Amino acid sequence: MTTLLGTVVGVDAAAKRVLLEGGDAISYDTLVLATGARHAYFGHDEWEPFAPGLKTLEDATTIRRRILLGFEQAERETDPEKRRALMTLVIIGGGPTGVELAGTIAELAHDTLKGEFRNIDTRDARVVLVEAGERLLPVSSRNSPPTRRMRCNGWA
């Protein structure tokens, strides 16, 4: 197996070659094209400014930045209701990515950032995982409890 970084500009299926930007070509026996993925808002593209997807490194750094900015804003907020809102993170989608993200955010708040602020306790943050289906991680376990009963260390 060989791993290369390049921009594919075409495929010559008859000659079994992948054509790269700059004129290079790579011969192949079997070709698998993984063109990437894009998150979907199910006809509600207006949600995108509030709910970034998680398909690229840039998406991940945007989410991390938003989380940290939320804690920074909560640190300066004196209104308890607004502070609670700033420390509530909602993840839509109880598939593998959503469940992993929820766990990572919980770890960030409970462990990594613990003690880093003077006016807030990041362990008071709430992570809410929303799944429209009947179960979290629906493809991996038919025996998992229904989503309405799923809880993680008291976090909603």
> How many domains is the chain partitioned into structurally?
2
Residues 28 and 51 in one domain: no
DSSP code for 50 = T
Residue 127 lies in a domain: yes
Residues 55 and 119 in one domain: yes
> Domain range for residue 28?
1-35
**pLDDT tens-digit series, residues 66-113:** 999 999 999 999 999 999 999 999 998 888 888 999 999 999 999 999
SS3 117: coil
Residues 65 and 122 in one domain: yes
Give the pLDDT confidence score for residue 17 in this predicted structure: 96
Residues 80 and 132 in one domain: yes
CA–CA dist 28, 69 (Å, integer): 47
pLDDT mean over 4-9:
88
Confidence of residue 40 (pLDDT cuts 50, 70, 90): confident
Q: Which residue has the tokens 């009947």?
A: 134
User: Two tokens at 92?
Assistant: 């839509």
CB atoms within 10 A of CB 2: 5
Residue 50 has pLDDT above 60, yes or no: yes
CB of 1 within 8 A of CB of 18?
A: no
Closest CA relative to residue 64, chosen from 95, 33, 89, 28: 89
pTM for the whole structure: 0.67
Residues 74 and 31 in one domain: no
Residues 59 and 121 in one domain: yes
pLDDT mean over 16-40:
88
User: Two tokens at 87?
Assistant: 């420390």
Q: Helical H runs in 39-133? A: 57-76, 80-86, 96-107
SS3 39: coil
Residues 4 and 49 in one domain: no
Give the pLDDT confidence score for residue 155 in this predicted structure: 42
Closest CA relative to residue 113, chosen from 97, 125, 99, 101: 125
Known catalytic residue: 116?
A: no
Residue 155 lies in a domain: no
Which of 100, 107, 116, 134 is flagged as catalytic?
A: 100
Closest CA relative to residue 91, chosen from 140, 141, 139, 51: 51
Q: Which residue has the tokens 């409890």?
A: 145
